[in-house]
Amino acid sequence: MSLNFVGAQATMPFKSILVTSRTYEGQKPGTSGLRKAVKVFQQEHYTQNFIQCILTAIGPKLKGCTLVVGGDGRFYAKEAIDIIIKIAAANGVRKLLIGQNGILSTPAVSCIIRKYKLNGGIILTASHNPGGPENDFGIKFNTENGGPAPDTVTNTIYNLTKKIKNYSIIPNLECNISEIGIRTFEVHGSEFIIEIIDSVNDYLELMKSIFDFQKLKNLLSSNIKPFRVLINSMHGVTGPYVKRIFIDELNAPLNSVVNTTPLVDFGGGHPDPNLTYAADLVQTLKNENYDFGAAFDGDGDRNMILGAKAFFVTPSDSIAILAENLNSIPYFQKSAVKGLARSMPTAASIDKVATSLNLKLFEVPTGWKYFGNLMDAGLLSLCGEESFGTGSDHIREKDGIWAVLAWLSIIAVNSKSIEQICFDHWLKYGRHYFVRYDYENCESEPSTKMMKVLEEKITNSDFIGQKFESDNEVFEVKLADNFQYVDPIDKSIAKNQGLRIIFTNGARLIFRLSGTGSSGATIRMYVESYESSPTKINLDAQLVLQPLIQIGLEISKLQSYIKRTEPTVIT
């Protein structure tokens, strides 16, 4: 591609200035980047500090590096991109690839970093948290493998934020990000390049290399009996991707996709694909004749899969079923399936498939970054999390649209309904009933206290062997601990990753504080039981799990600590 000098400013040399800053507390990236209220990011120097610290943390590779920048298009993204441009240029970055209008899904960023062998990327998203001036914004750094920065890098960034005194910036370097093309600026005698790229092209090309698009097209646009899908982008970033892939490429009817315009506030909704926040999708599926439904979160890495009449596939079952059927997907036909993995709180459905296929199964802490090392070492092909994350080693992020294409590939090969696929799976492997209770935005102090007291209780040696009874069901404790993970590749240790109580019948209770909230504390209680009897695999999960839920509330005394009787969300 040739370089264009666009606009008068392009020919004039730019000079950076050093701005005296002040430190801010709490710029600690959580499970997935720094997430705070927009108003926090709007404070003087706040965003600038964090960007400077991300760049400084790149170290010797910073000078002359190329980064990709984009996000879910939420409120404050354009301002943040403007700041990134000005600070990156001042810090000797050679080139920025920026999604048109700042739009790039999280999976697309991962794909672009890997495809063009970039030094990393900055993603502007608070994922599934609501957006708008009164809601959340977020900044996340991905490293050169395309995945979220590991703890070592985020700790470095955090330590830098605690002592930053100033940042370098070029205040008058402006770039219009709405037009695709290349702009070149002269900065300190070197070229600084900004390339505005199409948001969808690279990702679409990758999907075409993974899936059999002709087969999917036959499924969705057959003249005889098309498989009717309803894809809901929840006004997040996936809209443009979904339109290109499902309408333009796979010829699905126009009414197969909804809410495909990314909005700065997601239309006032909560862009989290679950039964509560994607209630409109659930209703439409219940009322109309669709065979399949799916929704994604704000930045496009999470997915929810539904069958006809809104039959719900739990994320834990979703990865297990994908694992069982990977041979329906060309990508996995070309190279043998390596290992499988799930996050610790995710139900153990995939463990059964791993055993049956003789594949290694890894159990990692919550957070996609923990899968990356395993993938880079060639040990992992498919993984997932109960928090609606599903993905493979095609990139280093979870991938909502990939999950939908994977499910459609299985359906195209098996010619069965989603419900039938799930039922057959439970018949073969038994069913892992799973539910998660979220208590959002609790006060931090009592929440931390509850976790501390609970940890003391369950790690006391007399806790093992204790029996709990509820509704005539008895659960005996087999193991209880605070989950800790030693990365098999770099041997790094992640501690305090959730309190787990495992019972002799395979049931589990897990308590964790969320790492993605922007204020206060969110407590999650994960409840799982296993049923292998064919007469008991098709029951209502909430009912089946009620006795265990009661035991969890009783052991933790959670309700009295946080003074709530009901969870905010049940998924």
Binding at 514: pick from ligand G6P, Zn ion, none (beta carbon under 5-8 Å per type): ligand G6P
Burial of residue 400, with CB atoms counted within 10 A of its CB: 0-12 exposed, 13-18 middle, 19 or more buried: buried
Per CB under 6 A, does 318 bind ligand G6P?
Answer: no
Q: CA–CA distance from 479 to each of 214, 504, 510, 555 (Å)?
A: 49, 8, 12, 15
Least distance (Å) from ligand G6P to the CB of residue 515?
4
- Beta strands per DSSP E along 206-347: 229-232, 257-258, 292-296, 303-307, 312-313, 339-343
Q: Is 143 in the site for ligand G6P (CB under 6 A)?
A: no
- Max Cα distance, the chain (Å): 79
Position among 31, 127, 129, 260 found at the interface with Zn ion (CB under 5 A): 127
Give which of Zn ion, ligand G6P, none residue 270 binds (C-beta under 5 to 8 Å, depending on kind): none
Binding span for Zn ion by CB under 5 A among 119-127, 184-192, 243-251, 423-431: 119-127
- Regarding 105 and contact with ligand G6P (CB under 6 A), the answer is no
Strands (E), 419-520: 431-442, 467-470, 473-482, 485-486, 493-494, 499-503, 508-513
Nearest to 499 by CA among 471, 524, 534, 467: 524
Tell which residue, 263, 90, 108, has the closest CA to residue 192.
90
Q: Are the CB atoms for 129 and 34 separated by under 8 Å?
A: no
Within a 10 A sphere around the Cβ of 255, how many other Cβ atoms?
Answer: 11
Q: Would you count residue 301 as binding Zn ion (CB under 5 A)? A: yes
Query: Where are any strands of DSSP class E within 10-94?
Result: 17-20, 34-37, 66-71
Q: Which is nearer to ligand G6P, 29 or 367 (CB)?
A: 367
What gap in Å lies between CA 375 and CA 372, rounded to an integer? 5
Which does residue 389 touch among ligand G6P, Zn ion, none (CB within 5 to 8 A, set by kind)?
A: ligand G6P
Which of the residues 367 through 406 are near ligand G6P (CB under 6 A)? 367-368, 385, 387, 389
Nearest approach, Cβ of 520 to ligand G6P (angstroms)? 12
Report the alpha-carbon distance of residue 528 to residue 32 in Å, rounded. 25
- Using CB atoms, what's the residue nearest to Zn ion? 127
The entry of ligand G6P, Zn ion, none that residue 202 binds, CB within 5 to 8 Å by partner kind: none
Quote the tokens at residue 131.
């957006």
Residue 127: active-site member: yes
299 binds, among ligand G6P, Zn ion, none (CB under 5 to 8 A by kind): Zn ion
Q: Is 299 in the site for Zn ion (CB under 5 A)?
A: yes
Choose which of 215, 363, 515, 569 interacts with ligand G6P (CB under 6 A): 515
Segment interacting with ligand G6P (CB under 6 A) among 52-60, 178-186, 280-288, 509-517: 509-517
- For residues 411 and 451, which CB has a smaller minimum distance to ligand G6P in the complex? 451
Nearer CB in complex with ligand G6P: 206/383: 383
SS3 (DSSP) at 496: coil
Interface pick for ligand G6P out of 31, 52, 328, 529 (rule CB under 6 A): 31
- Distance (Å, whole) CA 44 – CA 21: 9
Region of 40-48, 87-95, 201-209, 293-301 interacting with Zn ion (CB under 5 A): 293-301
Q: Does 346 bind ligand G6P (CB under 6 A)?
A: no
Stretch that binds Zn ion, among 60-68, 158-166, 299-307, 547-555 (CB under 5 A): 299-307
Q: Does residue 127 belong to the site contacting ligand G6P (CB under 6 A)?
A: yes
Active-site option among 16, 110, 127, 318: 127
Residues 40-99 contacting ligand G6P, CB under 6 A: none
Nearer to Zn ion, 391 or 552 (CB): 391
Interior angle at CA 167, CA 165 and CA 169, nearest 5: 160
Cβ 242 vs Cβ 200: under 8 Å = no
Min dist. Cβ of residue 301 to ligand G6P (A): 6
Question: For the residues of 509-555, what is the DSSP string, one character each?
Answer: EEEEE-SS-SSSEEEEEEEEEEE--GGGSSS-HHHHHHHHHHHHHHH
- Residue 514 binds ligand G6P (CB under 6 A): yes
- Give 199's Cβ-side CA count (13 Å radius): 27
Taking residues 508 to 537 in sequence order and writing x for each that binds Zn ion by CB under 5 A, - otherwise, the string is: ------------------------------
Please identify, among the stretches 65-73, 120-128, 217-225, 521-529, the one whose residues bind Zn ion according to the rule CB under 5 A.
120-128
Q: Is 119 in the site for Zn ion (CB under 5 A)?
A: no
- How many residues contact ligand G6P, by CB under 6 A? 14
Q: Checking phi first, is residue 346 left (phi over 0); if not, alpha (psi -120 to 50) or beta?
A: beta
Provide φ and ψ at 177, rounded to 5°: -100, 10
Contacted entry of ligand G6P, Zn ion, none for residue 515, CB cut-off 5 to 8 Å set by kind: ligand G6P
Q: Does 518 bind ligand G6P (CB under 6 A)?
A: no
Q: Which residues are catalytic?
A: 127
